Amino acid sequence: AYLADAHLKYLGWALSDKDAAVRMEAVSGLSKLYKSKDNIVGLHDFRVRFEGRMKEMINDINEDVTLCTLGLLAQLVEVGEMDQ
């Protein structure tokens, strides 16, 4: 139930927060969710909706957010949710 769009949208919105710490927590949280193969199907619509924003974040002003985002994108490629 926690993978419902009603809950995930807040995580998606946090990807665009003005505070780098909030963006970092959002990316970190997504990374944790994608570690469980059981969550991948439930996160598909979220990934489709926010993929553009996640890709934009590789140019984030905060280097730590950029690095964490690169790790998340690599995870998505690894689990087959995103093309290289």
pLDDT at position 2 is 61
Chain position carrying tokens 């280097």: 63
pLDDT tens, the chain, 84 aa long:
466 777 888 999 999 999 999 999 999 999 999 999 889 988 999 999 999 999 999 999 999 999 999 999 999 999 988 887
Give the closest residue to 51 by CA, choosing from 80, 12, 3. 12
pLDDT at position 78 is 93
Q: What angle do CA 75, 78, 80 make, to 5 degrees?
A: 110
What is 45-68 written as a DSSP string?
HHHHHHHHHHHHGGG-SSHHHHHH
pTM, two decimals, is: 0.90
